[in-house]
Amino acid sequence: MTASTDKPDSPSPKTLFQKIIDRELPGSFVYEDEQCVVIKDINPGAPLHLLVIPRKPIPRLSDATPEDQALLGHLLLVASQVAREAGCGEAFRVAINNGAGAGQSVFHLHLHVLAGRPLKWPPG
Ligand code: AMP
């Protein structure tokens, strides 16, 4: 049996997103800096669907600590920047799924940036 790399208690040191960040797996990069990368979601839920991923492999938002405060703020600013640069700065959604029960499937913190269609509230 192959161990998943994307469970919170995985013995593997690398998540799927870490492998993309390290260029061990392909990713469609639209932005990167010293703290994070932004890639296109492989299964987009909207015309614009980007993932803002910190280089630091925090499994879930709920695993972040006060030492991550500046990083978390940076991720939000990058989310806004890439939405604006994609021409969607006036109407976009930023979402974080925290835990399997909330739909998280990759246990490396990431912000979804969705735009380009009407976005209803609340999400399903
Ligand atoms: P979540 O369900 O919140 O953990 O989000 C994980 C997201 O990663 C989903 O929207 C997937 O479509 C996306 N995803 C999974 N594999 C890849 C990949 N190889 N490249 C880009 N996005 C991916």
**Which residue's alpha carbon is at the smallest distance from atom 12 of ligand 1?**
43
* Average pLDDT rounded to a whole number, residues 118-122: 95
Q: Report the pLDDT value the prediction gives residue 118, as an integer from 0 to 100.
A: 95
d(CA 89, CA 33): 20
Asked whether 99 lines ligand 1 (CB < 6 A), one says no
Q: Report the pLDDT value the prediction gives residue 3, as an integer from 0 to 100.
A: 37
Q: Assign domain 16-115 one CATH number from 3.40.109.10, 3.90.1310.10, 3.40.47.10, 3.30.428.10.
A: 3.30.428.10
For the chain, report the end-to-end CA distance as a whole number of angstroms: 33
d(CA 42, CA 54): 18
Tell me, yes or no, if 49 is annotated catalytic.
no
- Domain ranges across the chain: 16-115
Asked whether 18 lines ligand 1 (CB < 6 A), one says no
Asked whether 59 lines ligand 1 (CB < 6 A), one says no
* pTM metric for this prediction: 0.93
Q: Report the pLDDT value the prediction gives residue 13, as an integer from 0 to 100.
A: 79
Closest atom of ligand 1 to CA, residue 27: 20
Q: What is the pLDDT of residues 54-87, one digit of tens each?
A: 999 999 999 999 999 999 999 999 999 999 999 9
